[in-house]
Amino acid sequence: MGHSHALSGAAVWLAIAPALTALPGVTSPELATLTGPILSPSELVAGALVCAGAAMLPDLDHPSATIAQTFGPATYYLSKGVNIISGGHRHATHSLLFSLAAGFGTFFLAGRFSVARDIIVVLMIGLALRAIGFGVPGKTITSAVVNVGMTGALFVTFLLLGVTYSWLAFAIGIGCLVHVFGDCLTEHGCPVLWPLKGKWVLPYDIGIKTGKTFENKILGPALSIVVIALLCLRLMPG
């Protein structure tokens, strides 16, 4: 489900972000010159939100999903288009190829067009907020308005805090991969090697059922605790 994908994306980002700073281009040259190759606290939080949103990105192939209602008609029709192009739900977008394409596509667009970078960041923040439950139940348009307002406020806050997005492509690619791996744990599996046929279910032929007791009562709360614990760990001084 959406909240599980988003929380797992945030958790994975917070877990591996410090190690990612060893890779070239992940941190801004200005920050690295002053402090060494680290991400600032605001960048860690922004990255967690972006990665959480990216962990929802593969489900834009599902127009009936709640996530397609994030920004009202805009994301609904985007989802309809993605559904047609990808061949339906859990096809092209739920693959290793899509994850790589999303990461490299972000790297290309964000590196050349600041407007494209900002659009990607805003979309990911909006997807993350929607997935973890910000909105008004049963009120699509009202939820979209609330989401737009909160997304805009967060984006402006990150702007004022001087967040740079040299890590953006990594967060997008990782988030998509987290989604694919998560869906491989379900009974329906994922076409990891699309366009090759066949879906992967991990562990082999023993997939969990989505939306049932295990996910709602155990997995969801556990992921929430992990995200909070990792945030405290990463943001604590020293």
* Alpha-carbon span 100 to 174, nearest angstrom: 9
Residue with the larger pLDDT of the pair 100 and 141: 100
Q: What is the pLDDT of residue 106?
A: 93
Question: CA-based diameter of the chain, in Å?
Answer: 51
The tokens describing 123, both together, are 């979309």
Q: What is the pLDDT of residue 212?
A: 64
Cα–Cα nearest to 211, from 68, 31, 2: 2
High-pLDDT (> 90) share of the chain, %: 29
Q: What is the pLDDT of residue 39?
A: 76
Q: Tens of pLDDT along 14-50?
A: 998 878 776 666 665 554 444 455 678 888 899 999 9
- Which residue spans within the chain are E strands per DSSP? none
* Alpha-carbon span 17 to 122, nearest angstrom: 20
Residue whose tokens read 């694919």? 180
* Alpha-carbon span 47 to 165, nearest angstrom: 9
Q: For residues 129 and 151, is the Cβ–Cβ distance under 8 A?
A: yes
Highest mean pLDDT among 51-55, 83-87, 225-229: 51-55
Burial class for 19, CB neighbours closer than 10 Å (0-12, 13-18, 19+): exposed
* Alpha-carbon span 131 to 51, nearest angstrom: 12
Q: What is the dihedral of CA 50, 96, 103, 178, to 10 degrees?
A: 20
DSSP-assigned letter for residue 199:
-
* Alpha-carbon span 181 to 186, nearest angstrom: 9
The CA–CA distances, whole Å, from 215 to 5, 44, 146, 177, 220 equal 11, 26, 27, 19, 6
* Alpha-carbon span 156 to 16, nearest angstrom: 26
Q: For residues 169 and 48, is the Cβ–Cβ distance under 8 A?
A: no
User: What contacts 177, CB < 8 A, 6 or more positions away?
Assistant: 96, 99
Cα–Cα nearest to 170, from 226, 105, 91: 105
Residue 204 has pLDDT above 60, yes or no: no
CA 76 to chain CA centroid, Å, is 18
Q: Determine which of 137-141, 149-153, 216-220 has the lowest per-residue pLDDT on average.
A: 137-141
Mean per-residue pLDDT of the chain: 82
Q: Tens of pLDDT along 95-128?
A: 999 999 999 999 999 888 999 999 999 999 988 9
